[in-house]
Amino acid sequence: MRLKRFLNEENSIKKGLAIDEPEVGNEYDEEEIASKKEILQIAIGKQTEILSKMKKSNASDDQLEAARAIMADLKDKQEKWDNPEKETKSQGPNPEPAMGGEEPPPDEEEPPPDEEEEEDPEDEEK
């Protein structure tokens, strides 16, 4: 009985993690959205139980961190499926990538060439 319950918990979490996020340009019907949200809700509930048990059994920090990461993934997917219209709407042309932690390039332009340095073609002939 315990093994069966454990496998059901693991399967529901795996099903939740296997759900893709809404894709831009796709349309989803209400039944499909409701089904995905239900799977995610069950997976979040099971993961909450697992986290609670891990805390009570003094699990290692690495195990707790991994369990919290799974929970964060599930909640992120749930949030996106709560409002799939927002997620599937095109954001327009690709935005400029954010420069995370890098210094912006200098705004220096190349100085215009000096007129004195340019040779006059008429002077070359002389």
Assigned domain for 111 exists? no
Number of domains the chain contains = 1
Assigned domain for 56 exists? yes
Q: Tell me the pLDDT tens digit for each residue of 52-95.
A: 999 899 889 899 999 999 999 999 999 999 988 877 676 556 55
Q: Is the sign of the CA dihedral 43, 49, 50, 55 positive or negative?
A: positive
pTM value is 0.63
Q: HSE of 108 in the Cβ direction (CA atoms, 13 Å)?
A: 3
User: Measured in whole angstroms, how far is the alpha carbon of residue 84 from the centre of its chain?
Assistant: 15
Assigned domain for 106 exists? no
CB 80 within 8 A of CB 20: no
Q: Tell me the pLDDT tens digit for each residue of 11-45.
A: 889 999 999 988 888 888 899 999 999 999 999 99
Q: Which residue has the tokens 């961190």?
A: 65
**Domain limits at 72?**
2-88
Q: What is the pLDDT of residue 39?
A: 93
Assigned domain for 109 exists? no
